[in-house]
Chain A
Amino acid sequence: MESIRGKTAIVGIGEVPTGIYPERSFVEQAVAVSEMAILDAGISKDEIDTVIPVLAVANPIDNANMVCSWMVEEMGLGGSCKANFVCGSGGSSSSNSLKAAMGLICAGLSRAVLVVHSDRLGTGLDMGAAIAQFAVVSMSQEYEIPFGFSQLALAGFLQQRYMYDTGTTERQIASVVETLRKWAALNPNAMLRDLRTADDVLASKVISSPVRKRMMNKLADGASAFIVTSAERARELTDRPAYILGVGSRCTNFTATEGQGDFYKTWTPAADDAFAMAGIGREDIDVAELYDAFPTFILISMELVGLCGKGEAGRFFEEGHAAPGGRLPVTTNGGMMAQGHTGAGGGVAVLVEAARQVMGKAGERQVADVKYALDTASGGIGMDFHVGILGNEV
């Protein structure tokens, strides 16, 4: 089978600031980012013949409407659009919708695909309802929920075992938060833009051991979108598209109990697939947009993807190599820890940031001379793992 390396590209991105915006409706956000992505791409909206809305966590009715072509109508694509279907795999919806877009384009079934995410985790549900909903997603009602399991407990599980296995210190984990806040300070769309030091993080109380209060992400409202088209069309539109060079993934489990201990082993073959397809090595990556939710996730994925050795990611962060000016900038939008957690949108946001860096549109936080960017995504409670590699030339 002929490789689809470099046959498609991201040519336009859109994003609204993440935060608490009670007056900003679900569809207002979705329309805003779709418009931005279309203008950024410089295409006619009528070229978009597939729309893939990403499933929102906090808005079940809006989700159902998105399936029923709400965005097609809002954007006036009624004459040209051929397909509209929701992608719902939690935090990995970004990578899965990207792969769907690649396939449709390479098969000649689509010219341009709009992927759009909007969610209102900050204000769409009252906080009690949001917590209650997160308390049961991707969990067994029989064998986990009766014991008081939660997403937060998962973060505790991962950090506890990761520290035990690698000797990574709490201060090193806290330095991930410090790093992400430094990036967020340079990101006008980020929610938490004030700096936090590792000391600040370590001074906060333990919430679910060993996770501390300032190691937690913040639920927020937000939206982002991107447009995928063929490499040929991309070259007509811009001299700096974000070519999709490699993708790899593994889907392993539904629950933490069955996944724990095993699921992360598959992050390495997922990355191997992406690098093999892209035809480049780990040392070629200029910027890594690693899906976070909690600081330990970044450290674990950084090691398993192969961007640093086993047990070395904590020191890498502590020494500042992942921060602005560092030798391998990591999660330059601030991630869910600092840009804000918009459900599945956290994954879309890091993918959009990877494209933004490759396209040279990252403003104050632009990493110099980005040729290759890597992004990761994971859904549910570590149910899958995805790696993508974008580049500015084929």
Chain B
Amino acid sequence: MEEYTLPLPLITTLSKVFWDGCRENKLLYQHCRDCGRVIFFPKHLCPGCMGHNLEWLESKGKGAIDTFTVTYEGAPPAFMGVTPYCVAIIRMDEGYRMMSNIVDCDFDALACEMPVEVVFAQVTEEITLPKFRPAGG
């Protein structure tokens, strides 16, 4: 595997579940059994009811682009060498939002509300990043 030089997620005991899921090509999110709230980023307590009764569910990996930007210049230092790239906020069908990159696409064709689906990019032995591409692409 080619050496990966971009920042990797800082893994905690809580987020390990999520990143372990990604390594198995599963996109996980939390759900509160008490109040039904859908939770992402992973939390220690339910931010709705302060309950501890949280479970992990697997997302279908489908959503729509809430908003996006294609960065050509002024990227964080580590990303200077990979411009242009698209970073987006994706509104998942399950009702949560996540940030990721939109890949395998024509940047000029991107638009808010475009349907997208997850693809998994293994970048190191440990880490697989969930990325998105236009749905059906």
Q: A interface vs B, CB < 8 Å?
A: 128, 131-132, 135-136, 140-150, 152-153, 155-158, 160-161, 164, 205-211, 213, 216, 255-258, 260-261
CB of B20 closer than 8 Å to a CB of A: no
Residue of A nearest to B73 (CB): A207
With a cutoff of 8 Å between Cβ atoms, the chain B residues found around residue A144 in the complex are: 99
Asked if B89 contacts A260 (CB within 8 A), the reply is yes
Given contacts A128-B77, A145-B76, A257-B89, 18 further A-B contacts (CB under 8 A): A131-B77, A135-B77, A141-B10, A142-B12, A143-B41, A143-B98, A143-B99, A147-B99, A148-B101, A150-B71, A156-B70, A158-B67, A161-B67, A207-B72, A208-B73, A257-B99, A260-B89, A261-B97
Minimum CB–CB distance from A159 to chain B (whole Å) comes to 8
Bitwise interface map of B from 79 to 118 toward A, beta carbon under 8 Å scored 1, else 0: 1001001010101000001111100000100011100000
Give the distance in Å from the alpha carbon of A158 to the alpha carbon of B66 in the complex: 10
Give the distance in Å from the alpha carbon of A206 to the alpha carbon of B108 in the complex: 13
Residue of B nearest to A161 (CB): B67
Bitwise interface map of B from 6 to 17 toward A, beta carbon under 8 Å scored 1, else 0: 111111100100
With a cutoff of 8 Å between Cβ atoms, the chain B residues found around residue A207 in the complex are: 71-74
CB of B69 closer than 8 Å to a CB of A: yes
Asked if A208 contacts B98 (CB within 8 A), the reply is no
Q: How large is the interface on B (under 10, 10 to 19, 20 to 34, 35 or more residues)?
A: 35 or more
Give the distance in Å from the alpha carbon of A295 to the alpha carbon of B11 in the complex: 36
CB of B129 closer than 8 Å to a CB of A: yes
Minimum CB–CB distance from A140 to chain B (whole Å) comes to 6
With a cutoff of 8 Å between Cβ atoms, the chain B residues found around residue A155 in the complex are: 69
Asked if B98 contacts A146 (CB within 8 A), the reply is no
Minimum CB–CB distance from B82 to chain A (whole Å) comes to 7
Give the distance in Å from the alpha carbon of A40 to the alpha carbon of B32 in the complex: 56
Known: A142-B41, A146-B7. A135 touches B76 (CB 8 A): yes
9 A-B pairs with least C-beta separation = A156-B69, A135-B76, A161-B67, A164-B112, A148-B79, A142-B9, A208-B71, A141-B10, A157-B67
Subset of 27 A-B contacts with CB under 8 Å: A131-B77, A132-B76, A140-B99, A141-B7, A141-B10, A142-B12, A143-B41, A143-B99, A144-B99, A145-B9, A146-B6, A146-B129, A147-B99, A147-B100, A148-B79, A148-B82, A150-B71, A152-B74, A153-B71, A160-B69, A164-B67, A164-B111, A208-B69, A208-B70, A216-B74, A256-B99, A260-B67
Q: Max chain B CB contacts within 10 Å: which of A128, A144, A146, A216?
A: A146
Asked if B72 contacts A147 (CB within 8 A), the reply is no
Minimum CB–CB distance from B43 to chain A (whole Å) comes to 10
Q: B interface vs A, CB < 8 Å?
A: 6-12, 15, 41, 66-79, 82, 85, 87, 89, 91, 97-101, 107, 111-113, 129
A-B contact count (CB 8 A): 123
Q: Tell which of B85, B97, B111 touches A257, judged by Cβ atoms closer than 8 Å.
A: B97
Minimum CB–CB distance from B1 to chain A (whole Å) comes to 17
Asked if B77 contacts A157 (CB within 8 A), the reply is no
Give the distance in Å from the alpha carbon of A114 to the alpha carbon of B61 in the complex: 52
Q: Tell which of A132, A142, A210 touches B77, judged by Cβ atoms closer than 8 Å.
A: A132
With a cutoff of 8 Å between Cβ atoms, the chain B residues found around residue A145 in the complex are: 7, 9, 76
Give the distance in Å from the alpha carbon of A304 to the alpha carbon of B14 in the complex: 36
With a cutoff of 8 Å between Cβ atoms, the chain A residues found around residue B66 in the complex are: 161, 260-261
Give the distance in Å from the alpha carbon of A158 to the alpha carbon of B101 in the complex: 17
Give the distance in Å from the alpha carbon of A80 to the alpha carbon of B67 in the complex: 52
Give the distance in Å from the alpha carbon of A209 to the alpha carbon of B68 in the complex: 8
Minimum CB–CB distance from A151 to chain B (whole Å) comes to 9
Asked if B10 contacts A142 (CB within 8 A), the reply is yes
Give the distance in Å from the alpha carbon of A164 to the alpha carbon of B72 in the complex: 21
Give the distance in Å from the alpha carbon of A149 to the alpha carbon of B45 in the complex: 26
Known: A147-B100, A148-B85. A160 touches B11 (CB 8 A): no
Known: A164-B111, A208-B71. A142 touches B11 (CB 8 A): yes
With a cutoff of 8 Å between Cβ atoms, the chain B residues found around residue A147 in the complex are: 87, 99-101, 129
With a cutoff of 8 Å between Cβ atoms, the chain B residues found around residue A131 in the complex are: 74, 76-77
Asked if A146 contacts B89 (CB within 8 A), the reply is no
Give the distance in Å from the alpha carbon of A141 to the alpha carbon of B79 in the complex: 15
Give the distance in Å from the alpha carbon of A273 to the alpha carbon of B61 in the complex: 40
Q: Max chain B CB contacts within 10 Å: which of A131, A143, A206, A256?
A: A143
